[in-house]
A and B are shown apart, each in its own frame.
Chain A
């Protein structure tokens, strides 16, 4: 048989797909499952192992990874197609879908220009105040609307300021990094503040309900977690300014030119007013009705009204939302539920606890460490939402209080400061080409230490008071 360079190239490009499936086949056919784990549980863990390899190395597009998750569950996971389908769509997936669509509806209205004007009016032209302003606004807004929407709206403002700075890009690298990271890290620390701050928060709420672990209302979540956001905001500003010292103390010219640029936006239009009012109503509904109707359903009602009022077209939504990712979240959640149902999650939880029991004798501390470490490490490799979808069932099987451990896991999954892949806000600023991978490491380790300390403070001092 003639082997061409094309065939070898294909093998080279797809080697991780071949490795993943070959490993899965060997484990399935030749390696017996460990004692204490059901055959179905073992097979589900094999599927998860193959999927993790595929997500990490991306030899095939993400939607294809979602599809293999579905068919493997039917072929070797012992599930029927209807079972897989029934776990596939739930409120968490509705929320992720709705949240991405809401972002399109709101960002397309041009409200960011007004936001820019508002920020500048408050901060003035001192660089540290602008960095602080971006961090505070990003954190607070992101806690309600999600980091992707906030970053999409604030990044142009920051880039315009940089563009209007009368110095070359090389000589303002500190300023550029400070402005961009203030948005990305601000949005990331804020995203844990409320359930609607991120898809992963809703995925965990969905797992609590699915596994009968209890529940938290929107406001209860805020009470427990928001203090941590407030602690992190000033320290984040400090870390950013110290790590990326801006070369200019005052951005006089840039601010003036930005003001002129955004002034062209004209008077507030009816569309803009309707957009803001409608979103305020959605937010209010999340706070008051989400326990009855779910966050996802409310987001979809909002999208329906935006479309009915002509504020966004289906064409825009369809072209701007990556439906493959939604497919992947649905598939990941379905395998998460199967992991719990087959005993795979409990077995992994026991294994993690048993592995570290010699090092950390106190079982509560051990559970907390496993929960935070698993989520924190995985979120830097996958994305935070995918981390919670996979790690969530394991964490909820660790024993102890599932609400507290689940919260700790969700919060730790936001500690993806080291790479550009973990958090959407980090990926977005990275895509600007103005910050490099090492920049994430330079600031990321400080952010991670600060966040772990803040989490410990909240968990040991604040949560016992509330819970």
Chain B
């Protein structure tokens, strides 16, 4: 298997979804870290609940009146907090550091509200407010801006969400389940003959290099025989990491892939795996390895598309 994928820094766009200053700190922190690792621009989106449409007029009227009292939308309040946090995460970003949040400087477009950052040229940060169902809104945002990676926090309702997030978000996805910002994770890179393996390897290698996390490359086959595709992908991954002088451990295990991934990951790995190439109907009916893995594991997981 010949390696052809190349990361193009500065052309990548990442999106971090936040819900509140109380719970989204780790997600925003990791989003910023990953964005800096890849030298990507970062969109921060707050997705709030949409008010019941029956009372839409009343809610709109109240919000207009709240503006007169200088009380801003709770979503804008969260984005204001996010901007403050981002300044701390990116002290070298001078353009970002000079920005003051102004709730009056917002622009309604394409079913969303965008905070106009006066000196945004060069700061490479977008602040977006959306209201509605989480997956639907993230999908619209990703399609609108062409994000390469969506970073979201773990959810108590993850078994239900796992399917929708993986099947319907048209970008790579990093789900930060029980993520601890100060913990040093190991990377568990799952390698097989899927199309996304090349990209997974490149992304995994860059994260490992920049963050100094140890890497374990795992190839799992249901039968004792590892086919050419699996063997070739594993060799390609090893060659790639060798070329970057990153030490790795590598294992070949026979068994149920999802159970093996979950058991191997334990509670101290971040899993990196490629998105499924199964057709959407099969994924809907029977699930896929990423969907089942996300539903069963409690560690952060990056699914590369």
Q: Is the CB of B167 within 8 A of A5?
A: yes
Whether the Cβ atoms of A151 and B62 lie closer than 8 Å is yes
- The stretch that binds A, out of B32-40, B48-56, B117-125, is B48-56
Which of B51, B52, B74, B284 gathers most chain A CB within 10 Å? B52
Contact between A156 and B71, CB atoms less than 8 A apart: yes
- Distance of A119 from chain B, by nearest CB (Å): 15
Judge if A58 is at the interface, Cβ distance under 8 Å: yes
Q: How far is the CA of A427 from the CA of B62 in the complex (A)?
A: 11
Please name all residues of chain A whose beta carbon is closer than 8 Å to the beta carbon of B22 when the two chains form the complex.
170
What is the interface residue range for chain B against chain A? 20 to 34
Contact A325 B71 (CB under 8 A): no
Contact of A428 (CB < 8 Å), options: B58, B64, B164, B167: B58
- List chain B residues, Cβ under 8 A from A149: 61
* Interface check A225, CB cutoff 8 A: no
Q: Whole-angstrom distance from the CB of A322 to the nearest CB of chain B? A: 4
From A12, A383, A431, contact of B54 by CB (8 A)? A383
Please give the distance in Å from B68's CB to the nearest CB on chain A: 7
Q: Is the CB of B280 within 8 A of A156?
A: no
Interfacial chain B residues near A325, Cβ < 8 Å: 53-54, 56-57
In the complex formed, the residue of B with least CB distance to A116 is B69
* A235 interface residue (CB < 8 Å to B): no
Minimum distance in angstroms from A415 CB to a CB of chain B: 16
Interface residues of A in 408-439 (CB under 8 A from B): 420-421, 424, 427-428, 430-434
Q: 1/0 per position for A311-330, CB-CB distance to B under 8 A?
A: 00000000011101100100
Interface residues of A, count at CB 8 A: 49
Q: Is the CB of B59 within 8 A of A431?
A: yes
Contacts of A322 in B (CB 8 A): 53, 56-57, 60
Known: A153-B65, A155-B66, A163-B71. A9 touches B168 (CB 8 A): yes
Known A155-B62, A420-B52, A428-B62; judge A100-B71 contact (CB<8 A): no
A151 to B58 CA separation, bound complex (whole angstroms): 9
Where chain B touches its partner, the secondary structure class is helix
- CB proximity of B139 to chain A, nearest CB, Å: 7
Output the nearest chain A residue to B52 by Cβ-Cβ distance: A421
Contact of A433 among B54, B64, B74, B279 (CB under 8 A): B74
Instruction: Assess whether A160 is interfacial by the CB under 8 Å rule.
Output: yes
Known interface pairs A110-B68, A159-B71, A421-B52; A427-B58 also in contact (CB < 8 Å) = yes
Within 8 A of A (CB), among B263-297: 279-281, 284
| Residues of B64-117 whose CB lies within 8 A of A | 64-66, 68-69, 71, 74-75
Specify which chain A residues have a CB less than 8 angstroms from the CB of B74 in the assembled complex: 432-434
How many CB-defined contacts (below 8 Å) exist between A and B?
A: 114
Given known pairs A8-B167, A8-B280, the reply for A58 and B61 (CB within 8 Å) is no
Q: Sample 25 A-B pairs with CB under 8 A, ordered by A number.
A: A3-B280, A5-B280, A8-B280, A8-B284, A9-B168, A62-B54, A100-B57, A148-B61, A156-B66, A156-B68, A320-B57, A320-B64, A322-B60, A325-B54, A325-B57, A383-B55, A385-B54, A386-B54, A427-B51, A427-B58, A427-B59, A428-B55, A431-B51, A431-B63, A434-B74
Q: Measuring CB to CB, which residues of chain B are less than 8 angstroms from any residue of chain A?
A: 22, 48, 51-66, 68-69, 71, 74-75, 136, 139, 164, 167-168, 170, 279-281, 284
Chain A residues at the B interface, C-beta cutoff of 8 Å: 3-5, 7-9, 12-13, 58, 61-62, 100, 103-104, 107-108, 110, 112, 148-149, 151-153, 155-156, 159-160, 163, 170, 320-322, 324-325, 328, 382-383, 385-386, 420-421, 424, 427-428, 430-434
- List 17 other contacts, CB 8 Å, given A12-B168, A424-B54: A5-B167, A7-B280, A8-B284, A104-B61, A107-B64, A112-B65, A148-B57, A148-B58, A152-B58, A152-B62, A159-B66, A160-B69, A170-B22, A427-B52, A427-B55, A431-B51, A433-B74
